[in-house]
Amino acid sequence: MPKAAKTKYYAVKIGKEGPKIYDSWDEVSRYPGAIHKAFSSLSQAEQWLGIQHNQDHNDSSTALQRLPTPGDGADPDNAIVISDSESEHSMVPPEEVPAVEPEIQLSPEQQQVFNMVKAGRSVFFTGAAGTGKSVLLREIIKWCRGGGKRTACGDCFNWDCERKEKAEHLLGKILGQDKYRRMKERQERERLGLPPDENDLLSEHDNKYEKNPRVVERWRKVQVLIVDEISMIDGILFDKLEFLARSIRRNQLPFGGIQLVLSGDFCQLPPVPDRFSKVATIFSFDAKTWDSCVGKPVTLRKVFRQKEQAFVDMLNSMRFGQLTPPAIKTFRDLSREVVYNDGLVPTELFPTRAEVDRANTERLNKIPGDGIPFPAIDVPGWEESGQRISAEKADKLLNNLIAQKFLTLKVGAQVMLIKNLVQGSLVNGTIGRVVGFATTRDALNKGTWIGVADNKGDKSQVGLLQGQDGDKKNKPPGSETVQQYLRSGRNWPIVKFSGGEEVLCVPAQFEVTNAEGLVQARRDQVPLILAWALSIHKSQGQTLERVRVDLGRIFEKGQAYVALSRATSIDRLQVLHFDPGKVMAHQRVLEWMREHGGLPNTVNLPHDDIDEELEFWGDDF
């Protein structure tokens, strides 16, 4: 006779619907990061949930487990054990269960661009700050990768690189580092008026680049090239890449037939001009091949970052460098101090990195006591050949990340989250204050949430997450997994975020990938940076809840606009030394926008002064 199936009770302590007991696994709403356990008796399940019950229980093998996500087919009884059980019974569930909000729904205009990409069309989409360009790009990348399209990502996952490195990073990725270095040498020769080097890689008559089979292979196979922050890539570089693509692929179609997906706002930060040659900024739309590569720009009009229309209008007129007298008055009035009651101060944006470091260090030093050091664990990944990347090279690659190699924190330090934990509330850019340090076990005992970001940054959760898995190439060996951090007896910072959530921040994984998504190096670090101050360049792409900007030292076109447009509301924005003269837009950009229908007729074209533009440039930005 067949044995009767044993009844099971599934108690969910932290989940979508709060503490609840189910008698069938199928009824349980899947919730990544939930805490659940299977019991053979109802009373045991109730007891585990803290519901008063007289019956005693025999269960001594409690474990914290990961609830599977829909469709992963996991058996609840075989869920992955994350921690052992000694402290399980004393665990108090958090009063409030963090809700994972649904993924962002693309707006109709974002969807329209997405459809163009799906139809295989090359596209350049633009729009003011906060119109959801990066969100759309992330969806496109997901789709490309999911659909098996070979995608060479510019720097879309490396938004945190300092600006100067961005263009170099992109080119290095696409050309291969050696080819890029030689291209720079050629530019230098041009600048100095020397004849072209005989080894010039980009000469029409020279096919030496074909000697690097891996680079050639990559160029030949890539189907979609994605570039974020296209405003930072100059036109000469764009033409060179276009030429390279055509010649390597032996295909005379624009960009050798590669589908281009370009995104950015030319009213934000421009390419770094060459201070020595005194040549005006050459934008990528100035490239000879731009028009043949991408058709008419598509402009996203709906601004998501700010909700107040009056603020959106002011920022838009600032974007074009033309403010009305009432807008100037309003910006001047923003010099008042904004007082917050939760002890968190606004993040101050500075034009240079040196100012940022100074401001953060000063503030940290003012807090009495020694800081707790959090050194990162850096792990070299793999070359395409399958060889391990050298520690020196990994170090170089990782230095571009926003995650720091050495982070020092104290109770009271103001910090910023640099990974997404919960869509909509605990995201990259959310600020908070360190309120203590604890082990994961302490946190579990006290019911403090443990923030675990996934290592892609776009689909995340608060809760416990299975460590990264994957094949040898994608998983640098010897690295500690997230689970190991969770098991470790080390103290990690507890941060009280601006929304009131207290979260223990365990290390997250920050990866540098090559053009094909292969992990070249990985940094395991607590996903926090000091956030009293931030550079304007680093803030590009960020959404900040509280911002203070001193425009006194602004030196570049687009800089004031980038800084102020990070703010989500005018009530939480403080602007010092507002000077309408510093609100500058590039004449070339406005002309180009006018030609392409992106500029209202009411906006006048300004006069550009190249000397003035170049004079302000220094190396430290």
Ligand X SMILES: Nc1ncnc2c1ncn2[C@@H]1O[C@H](COP(=O)(O)OP(=O)(O)OP(=O)(O)O)[C@@H](O)[C@H]1O
Between CA 477 and CA 521 the distance in angstroms is 11
Distance CA(260)–CA(290), nearest Å, equals 11
The reply on whether position 346 binds ligand X by CB under 6 A is: no
- Supply the minimum distance, in Å, between the C-beta of residue 107 and ligand X: 5
d(CA 462, CA 426): 9
How many residues touch ligand X under the rule CB under 6 A: the total is 19
Question: Please, are residues 486 and 82 in contact by the beta-carbon 8 Å criterion?
Answer: yes
**Is residue 305 involved in binding ligand X (CB under 6 A)?**
yes
| Choice from 107, 330, 481, 587 touching ligand X (CB under 6 A) | 107
Judged by CB under 6 A, which of 25, 304, 437, 616 binds ligand X? 304
Candidates 21, 42, 104, 298; binder of ligand X (CB under 6 A) is: 104
State how far the Cα of 243 lies from the Cα of 35, in Å rounded to an integer: 55
At 300, is the secondary structure helix, strand, or coil?
Answer: strand
The C-alpha atoms of residue 593 and residue 582 are separated, in whole angstroms, by 21
CB closer to ligand X out of 139 and 550: 139
- If the CB atoms of residues 159 and 449 are measured against ligand X, the closer one turns out to be 159
| Closer residue to ligand X in complex, CB, 107/361 | 107
H or E element that contains 151: strand 151-153
DSSP letter assigned to residue 6: P
Range in contact with ligand X (rule: CB under 6 A) among 99-107, 330-338, 513-521, 588-596: 99-107
Instruction: Please report whether residue 457 would count as binding ligand X according to CB under 6 A.
Output: no
Residue 18 C-beta-side C-alpha neighbours within 13 Å:
3
Residue 1: is it exposed, middle or buried by C-beta count within 10 angstroms (0-12/13-18/19+)?
exposed
| Minimum distance, C-beta of residue 113 to ligand X, in the bound complex (Å) | 12
Shortest distance (Å) from residue 298 CB to ligand X? 13
565-594: contacts with ligand X (CB under 6 A): 565
Report the nearest approach of ligand X to the CB of residue 542 (Å): 8
Residue 363 is a binding residue for ligand X (CB under 6 A)? no
Per-residue string for binding with ligand X, 115-144, x by CB under 6 A? ------------x-xxxxxxx---------
**Tokens 């074909």, residue?**
210
* Integer angstrom CA distances of residue 6 from 466, 601, 620: 28, 75, 68
545 touching ligand X, by CB under 6 A:
no
The phi, psi pair for 239, rounded to 5°, reads: -60, -35
Interface with ligand X includes 110 (CB under 6 A)? yes
Based on CB atoms, which residue is closest to ligand X, 243 or 304? Answer: 304
d(CA 248, CA 236): 18
Cβ-based nearer residue to ligand X, 304 or 555: 304
Q: Show contacts with ligand X in window 172-191 (CB under 6 A).
A: none
Counting contacts by CB under 6 A, is residue 360 touching ligand X?
Answer: no
Residue number with CB closer to ligand X (107 or 212) = 107
For the beta sheet containing 414-417, the strands, ordered from the edge strand earlier in sequence to the opposite edge, are: 461-462, 449-452, 502-505, 492-497, 431-438, 414-417, 528-530
Choosing from 256, 541, 558, 598, the residue that interacts with ligand X (CB under 6 A) is 541
What is the rounded (10 degree) CA torsion for 208, 212, 216, 222? Answer: -140
Q: How far apart are CA 524 and CA 375, in angstroms?
A: 9
Q: Does 543 bind ligand X (CB under 6 A)?
A: yes
Instruction: Kindly provide the residue ranges of all beta strands, DSSP E only, lying in 439-501, ordered along the sequence.
Output: 449-452, 461-462, 492-497
Measured from each CB, the residue nearest to ligand X is 132
- For ligand X, give the closer residue by CB, 389 or 584: 584
Nearer to ligand X, 60 or 105 (CB): 105
**Under the criterion CB under 6 A, does residue 298 sit at the interface with ligand X?**
no
Question: Does 234 engage in binding with ligand X (CB under 6 A)?
Answer: no
Q: Where along the sequence are the contacts to ligand X (CB under 6 A)?
A: 104-107, 110, 127, 129-135, 265, 304-305, 541, 543, 565
